A and B are shown apart, each in its own frame.
Chain A
Amino acid sequence: MNDWQRILENEPAITPSPGFSKRVMRAIDAEVRAPAPIPFPWARMGLLLGLMSASVSVMLIMLPWPSVELGVPELSTAFASQANSLAWTSLCVCVVIGLARSSMRWLTA
């Protein structure tokens, strides 16, 4: 074995300072006493997203799109042709969120 390897293997150990373990336990106590981090409100975000999707769906289904003028005639025509599929997409998103939430509740119950 090379000399440097012997030097590295036989390095004398240092001793932690006398108050080290107490200091660590103080840090642990502070950790225990610290309030738990506030979790991100996923449930509320899901609800908000669901409500938004629902309102968009209702708006798209209820409003008579061909009569709405958006200023640019091409844009109005394009929007009117897509409004129906947009409404159904929003409704689907809404249903999916609702199903996901209810299945999560069912799983955690």
Chain B
Amino acid sequence: MSASEDRQAVQAVLAGDASAFEGIVERWQGPLVNLAYRFCRDRAQAEDLAQDAFVRIFRALKSYRGEAEFSTWLLAVATNVYRSQLRRMVPELASLEQQVALAETAAEPISEDDREELVRGAVKTLPAKYREAIVLFYFQDMDIAKASSALGVPSGTLKARLFRARAMLEARLRAMFGALSPEES
């Protein structure tokens, strides 16, 4: 991902060449679709969300002052789009209960793939602000600074949310199949 290519594309778009935005789409479609997928866990919905995010980014380019890195700004805009659209989603508690029941009644040990799916599904059941913190922090090696600026919250707030989110997630996973620590797996 080249920052200078992004800068040039932004300047070209602002100068009136909308087709230059295609370069930004080509470079960022992967990260934006993947980030959306981590929020919603549905491929088609992830692409719809990412498309909305690109349109919003295009509209907002005029307000990009270049103070933050383009990647940080772009992820912040996209995150806002995903958050506002997905906040309406009710956490899938029913599905979590089904998963717990499935895990409890399973006669055979759960496969690695199923276990990974259960962990990712458990993130989706967290309340929105904790889900957002977890999704962003574990996305593409984001650090606290980047994740907090993408979420628009101070880093202290993000740390507190991450702490709480991890505790909730561990409690839920323990309820499903005991602690998922490497010693036990």
Contacts and interface: CB of A to CB of B under 8 A. Distances in A.
The prevalent SS among residues of A at the interface is: helix
Contact of A25 (B22, B169, B173, B185): B22
B50 A25 contact: no
Contacts of B115: 7
Interface string A73-102: 000000000000000000000000000000
Given A3-B180, A28-B55, A32-B18, A13 B34 contact: yes
B74 interface: no
The prevalent SS among residues of B at the interface is: helix
Contact of A8 (B54, B59, B123): B123
Give the interface size class of chain A: 20 to 34
21 contacts: A2-B180, A3-B180, A4-B170, A4-B180, A7-B115, A7-B120, A8-B119, A9-B138, A13-B34, A14-B43, A16-B30, A20-B29, A23-B47, A24-B29, A24-B55, A25-B19, A25-B25, A28-B18, A28-B21, A28-B25, A31-B59
Interface of B: 18-19, 21-22, 25-26, 29-30, 33-34, 37-38, 43, 46-47, 50-51, 54-55, 58-59, 115-116, 119-120, 122-123, 134, 138, 141, 169-170, 173, 180-182, 185
